[in-house]
Structure 1
């Protein structure tokens, strides 16, 4: 079965819309649509909050892009972005039982994008922005958060940042270091890098140094955008060769093969290296291990140990936010999610996971982050997100943790039963 056959055969694409109620009789039809549905419309008209009780809004997320930064392919346009957005819809469904409409918008102006997305926002319980180039993604996300009363998250920024933080919690634990004390070097200053820096700060990191293609984000530079200027430090415009000295952590969100042998040798004891460029990482793990046997390594690829994959975060961030009808996904919720993801990796690995991946693994240098098919993510991360949403006052619904856990168990059982895959 080839890649193109997978996407094309049986039914074109990867998603479909199916009814959740029976429509097998005249009576069913009259209740599902007219005249019966008119009574429901009148009730919602009197109390708009009831839209969550009688429609799919509370379990429906818009995955929105304009195709300007698709994967590592750049500005592909909206048609080429659609299979990627459909793939995102599949991940939402199979990992968190969240329904998705993928929306590809042929508009590059961030201001017009905001107008379009906010206009359709009443349909949804949340908005997942995807593959929108920087700095437009910052503008769109910030403006939407001010205009709509449902969670808005640019996953390329915050989903990635959350998993990086989770992995870093565990890597530093193994290395015997504290987030507050370590020197962190981030190579790359795009949307995911800047979001990661913000979230690391929120979690307690004090010493963060970011480099773009011209060098260190320094206060001496006059070419920095407002987004980069936030992280400018009072140092000369050093290159990576100088900034990496005595660094405890290297986070690569840039391009392949930029971390060299001499860079690794300059890092501190038990260095943490997250080489996340795809498909070619900043340094390959086998080479890094030869240079620094004491290192803890992660990449963005599934064929190496410790994949930093945002599928570990975004389905569960939205699951928790949707289920308490949160008005936003704030940084406190992101940190709580990262902490819970990290805790899951430290627990004993269930037998079903070893069966799925056909390998034995346990918490340590080569397993610092959960595997995507770990169902404990669904059972635990949304609870942490929901609890933090309640604590930070962004919810509109009563929350009982034990009842919620039972609801999540039922969702997990549902996920395992509902998919009538066609034969490929």
Structure 2
């Protein structure tokens, strides 16, 4: 599924951005609560990378709103602080913004209202939620986008075909959470501690090491988590 690939690559970039900034227990605002936003939020929570606030056109999602089944599944796990309001309210005092939403909906003032050294992944394509230069000028420490002409391109190509190759090598019957987490870490760890900086939190989609690193990690996770079919002698 496309959205799971997106979630894996977003989490890899986030994992490294948190490594770089040293943020612990970050508040992570995910704007856009469709299939991609739900997949991203779920994997962030499963990997215990931080606390998530989910926002869509209605504002910060809360139990009393009209929610989709996917949103309803997550609602008890998000917004631990019980915030209400719109995107601007969600971002106040947050550490991370992840956008899979609409162009130019985040202002520099919103970035300034976040905690120091915020991480901003503005992934609406081709026009991001906030332009990279505007986010940096407003104090963002790390900016990732979906575009190939900027550093830190968050491209779900990084997850494929490695995940499928690993699943096939292990003869897995499913792609489970453990396999996704293994893919996240495999992609993240291709950036060494020495290389890690504001403009390099995720490897290029063209990096030749990616497929093998991901497939090896996914195959191992498949075997260890029991996602592998037992072959019986007939």
Range class of TM-score, shorter chain? over 0.9
- Deviation digits for residues 51-77 of structure 1 (CA, Å, limit 9, x no counterpart): xxxxxxxxxxxxxxxxxxxxxxxxxxx
Of 142, 145, 152, 1:306 maps to 152
User: CA separation in 1, counterparts of 2:230 and 2:110?
Assistant: 50
> What SS does the corresponding residue of 1:161 show, helix, strand or coil?
helix
The structure 2 residue matched to 1:374, chosen from 185, 207, 210, is 207
CA distance in 2, matches of 1:268, 1:320: 39
Are residue 260 (structure 1) and residue 107 (structure 2) matched?
yes
Map 1:142-291 onto structure 2 (within 5 A): 154-155=1-2, 157-178=3-24, 181-221=25-65, 223-232=66-75, 233=79, 235=82, 237-291=84-138
Q: Retained in 2: the 8 A contact 1:325–1:397?
A: no
User: For 1:186, what is the secondary structure of its paired residue?
Assistant: strand
Q: Rg bigger for which structure?
A: 1
Deviation at 1:347, TM superposition (A): 6.6
3-state SS, counterpart of residue 346 of structure 1? coil
Three-state SS of the structure 1 residue aligned to 2:178 is helix
Mapped to 1, the partners of 2:50 and 2:198 lie a distance apart of 24
1:101 alignment counterpart:
none
Q: Report the TM-score, using the length of structure 1 for normalisation.
A: 0.52
Cα distance in 2 for residues equivalent to 1:301 and 1:344? 20
Distance in 2, Cα, partners of 1:158 & 1:299: 17
The structure whose residues are more often helix, as a share, is 1
Contact 1:389 1:395 in 2 (8 A): yes
1:314 is paired with a residue whose SS is coil
Name the structure 2 match of 1:394.
227
The question of whether the paired residues in 1 share the 8 Å contact of 2:142 and 2:198 is answered with: yes
The offset of 1:227, in angstroms, is 1.2
Tell me the matched-pair count.
227
Structure 2-normalised TM-score?
A: 0.92
List, as ranges, runs of 4+ consecutive aligned residues in structure 1 with deviation greater than 2 Å. Answer: 230-237
Match of 2:167 in 1: 321
CA shift, 1:396, in A, is 3.3
Instruction: Give the secondary-structure state (helix, strand or coil) at the position aligned to 1:339.
Output: helix
Q: Give the secondary-structure state (helix, strand or coil) at the position aligned to 1:185.
A: strand
Choose from 336, 342, 348 the match for 2:188: 342
RMSD: 1.7
Deviation, structure 1 residue 295:
1.6
The whole-number CA distance in structure 1 between the counterparts of 2:26 and 2:83 is 21
Judge conservation of contact 1:210–1:231 (CA < 8 Å) in 2: no
Instruction: For structure 2, list consecutive stretches of 5 or more residues without a partner in the other structure.
Output: none
Q: CA deviation at 1:197?
A: 0.7
Question: Any gaps of 5 or more consecutive residues in structure 1?
Answer: 1-153, 349-361, 399-424
